[in-house]
Amino acid sequence: MNTTRVRTELKKYIDKLSPEQLTLVANFFEDLEAEEKIDATEELLNIPEFESIFEKANQEIKEGKVRNWKEIRN
């Protein structure tokens, strides 16, 4: 089943839920999203030297030592 069809089916179910059930579903979706963000953060933190590279990049941005991505692309 493709994602468009899954979304359509989910919307049908959501439209039939009581307010209490909608709250439960909303909380579940929030938890799923939070878990996904945590997983993504952990994945980044597992990259060797990521934190120091990230800090250096942020410092360079603050100092204006960056170029527009469109310039680089061309």
Q: Residue 28 corresponds to which amino acid?
A: F
Pair 25, 14: CB distance under 8 Å: yes
- pTM of the full predicted structure? 0.56
Structural domain boundaries enclosing 8: 3-73
What local confidence, expressed as pLDDT, does residue 73 receive? 79
Pair 50, 44: CB distance under 8 Å: yes
What local confidence, expressed as pLDDT, does residue 68 receive? 85
Task: Say how many domains are in the chain.
Answer: 1
Per-residue pLDDT of the chain (74 residues; tens, 9 = 90+): 799 999 999 999 999 999 999 999 999 999 999 999 999 999 999 999 999 999 999 999 999 998 888 888 77
48 torsion bin: left (phi>0), alpha (psi -120 to 50), beta (else): beta
What local confidence, expressed as pLDDT, does residue 70 receive? 87
Alpha helices in 1-74 (DSSP H): 3-15, 19-45, 50-62, 69-73
Pair 51, 59: CB distance under 8 Å: no
